[in-house]
Amino acid sequence: MLSKVLIANRGEIATRIIRTCAEAGIPSVAVHSQADANALHVRLADEAVLLGAASATDSYLAIDKIIEAAATTGAQAVHPGYGFLAENAEFAKAVEDAGLIFIGPPSSAINVMGSKIAAREIAAQAEVPQVPGSPSTIASAADVIAFGDEHGYPVAIKATYGGGGRGMRMVASAADAESAFASAKQESAAAFGRDDVYLERYLSSARHVEVQVFADKHGNAVWIGDRDCSVQRRHQKLIEEAPAPGLSADLRRAMGEASVRLAKAVGYVGAGTVEFLVEADQDRFYFLEMNTRIQVEHPVTEMTLGLDLVAEQLAVAAGEPLSITESGATPRGHAIEVRVNAEDTRGALFMPSPGPISTVAAPTRAGVRWDGGYESGDEVQPYYDSLVGKLIVWAPTRERALDRLAFALDELVIDGVPTTVPAARAIIAHKDFRNVEMHTNWLERDIDFASMLAPLEEPADADADAEEVLPRNEVWVGDRRYVIPFFTPAGPAAATPTAEPAAPRRVAGSGTRKKRGGSGAAASGEIKSPMQGTVAQIDVEVGATVEAGQVLMVLEAMKMQNPIRAAIAGVVESLAVKVGEVVPSGAALATVTAGGE
């Protein structure tokens, strides 16, 4: 048994690992930033070490500080959780070099699988099916166009080092190649410290199915079930379930065996997940990537197999053989997990919404589990991801699990910040999801998801009968135009930003209207932030001429990058922020004057 474990992470996964350590009688050490000094994982651990400032770079990504914390507290092993440094080969090597146990695969395996190019090469050697892809990283948009001409569109540009949809762009045609290439490299550099990207043929209607593998230090490797993670938004998973519904036994076995071959080919140890794109109707699957860590969605596998995968990780790291001796155990019943994030789902925009949580109350009915990173009175910080917790249900059948989940979502209480619970309710009630007719683009392409959620509030209007609409501050975030409340000497016209379609239109009750007898005013062109976030990049200078829809800057909020675009063509009159600055919602970002006047 391990003598003491340092958890190099925060939030839900840190609390999850700390609780399993406690059950096993293993003392735990939490690390934290200044912003997380009173966080739940700090309160639960036996010891806690301050790493640095709120920035992840100064804390949860500071390898030297984490190694020093392990040494000063006498920790024998380091568990990286998921995210942050979990799949960082340099970190794993530093842990190994310090004479500590890394609770995960050897750094050599992380290094190989961390490069998507190298992973594809290993997958080919292990005879794992793959979609067509570039043999190496690409250097320009011309490479994207050449690949598209050969293999057809759409094409996916992907970060060579990374995952979770960060640094990924879909290219629908040659005309999109230049902008997609530039933005993919930009986001990859910001997320992973490297801007290398490569190409794959994009399967637009495939399901995302992953296989859980486990290996020990004695040469044993098994696959222990599969999960469906097809319901995604911006390549981020929202709902996961096990087993993946609607797959044939032959397809499950073929994916499982391919996953074990891949794990053995890289000398894998510990818990890992091999992800596939699946065309279930044709019994075909294609290798996507391997995640060399515990997954966010691991509880659904635990619920259907009666396992504690973190406890298994601890045992394997201590040198014990796997307790699971055979692959392909038959799952018992069905489990579904909902990620509950601090995001405002109105209008299907999923705006990051950090802040204090007044109440967290999870349902206690049979077959329901809540893995949370916060308790009542805690605060969701704007510097990290938006995951508040995970609601997991189990039932004998998928149909009963969905019904149980609907009740559990209604009973879950999280007050203080908006969450993604309304989105989860809408998804599990949809006939496509009930009938297993979803795929990775289903939510964003095939259904009118925005109409299933509450609309963004239109500004209050004291004079709804007036005809003339005064201009309002507007800003583009991604592909949506936001209408920000227009502040007049008499005060704000509304307290809530609204969103409208790209084409201007008159909506009853929208905008700040001219009072009878008043006079109109020219548009100010002032661009305000629709969210709290950090200015990650500024793409223009004062005096620059810009087109409507052109990216002015990029805000990063809760590990998601949001391009801020010009609502009108004109000239950049002023920039009110600088790179690295944290801005609140509604803060002035820039001013664009129409026509340069």
**pLDDT tens, residue by residue, 195-227:** 999 999 888 899 999 999 999 999 999 999 999
Residue 229: count of CB within 10 angstroms of its CB: 24
Distance CA 25, CA 343 (A): 36
The architecture in CATH of the region 132-201 reads 2-Layer Sandwich (3.30)
Peptide bond between residue 492 and the one before it cis (omega within 30 degrees of 0)? no
**Does residue 497 surpass a pLDDT of 50?**
no
Where do the structural domains in the chain lie, given as residue ranges?
Answer: 5-103, 132-201, 207-452, 469-594
Phi, psi of 329 (to 5 degrees): -60, 140
- So what's the pLDDT on residue 267? 96
pLDDT computed for residue 472 by the predictor: 44
Tens digits of residue pLDDT in 269-323? 999 999 999 998 888 999 999 999 999 999 999 999 999 999 999 999 999 999 9
What percentage of the chain has pLDDT greater than the value 90? 69
- Multiple choice CATH, 469-594, 2.40.50.100, 3.40.190.10, 3.40.50.880, 3.40.50.720: 2.40.50.100
Whether residue 544 has pLDDT greater than 70? yes
Judged against a pLDDT cut of 50, whether residue 61 lies above it is answered with yes
Say if residues 275 and 120 touch (Cβ distance below 8 Å).
no
Taking alpha carbons only, the member of 291, 283, 280 closest to residue 205 is 280
Asked if residue 170 lies in contact with residue 235, where contact means CB atoms within 8 angstroms, the answer is no
Strand order in the sheet with 77-79: 47-52, 28-33, 5-7, 77-79, 101-102
- pLDDT (mean) for 477-490: 43
In angstroms, the CA 250 to CA 248 distance is 5
* CATH level 2 (architecture), domain 5-103: 3-Layer(aba) Sandwich (3.40)
Terminal-residue alpha carbon distance, the chain = 72
**Peptide linkage before 331 cis (omega within 30 of 0):** no
| Predicted local confidence at residue 178, as pLDDT | 93
State the Cα–Cα distance between residues 440 and 559, nearest whole angstrom: 21
Q: Is the pLDDT assigned to residue 578 strictly greater than 80?
A: yes
Chain mean position to CA 374: 18
For tokens 């290219």, the residue is 171
pLDDT above 80: residue 499? no
Residue 128 has pLDDT above 80, yes or no: yes
CB 390 within 8 A of CB 361: no
Return the residue matching tokens 């993919």.
Answer: 184
* pLDDT above 70 coverage of the chain, percent: 87
Range with the lowest mean pLDDT among 16-30, 161-175, 229-243, 327-341? 161-175
pLDDT digits (tens, 9 = 90+) for 11-26: 999 999 999 999 999 9
Q: What is the CATH number of domain 207-452?
A: 3.30.470.20
476 vs 83, more confident = 83
Mean pLDDT of 372-401: 96
- The tokens for 1 are 């048994």
Which phi and psi (to 5°) does residue 179 adopt?
-70, -40
132-201 matches 207-452 in fold: no
pLDDT given for residue 164 in this prediction? 65
Predicted confidence at residue 478, as pLDDT, reads: 46
Euclidean distance between CA atoms 407 and 340, whole angstroms:
15
The mean pLDDT of 331-350, rounded to a whole number, is: 94
Residue 308 pLDDT: 97
Number of Cβ within a 10 Å radius of residue 539:
16
- On the question of pLDDT at 386 being above 60, the answer is yes
Residue 505 has pLDDT above 50, yes or no: no
| Stretch 244-271: mean pLDDT | 97
Question: What average pLDDT is seen over the chain?
Answer: 87
C-beta of residue 388 within 8 angstroms of C-beta of residue 374? yes
CA distance 573 to 330: 64
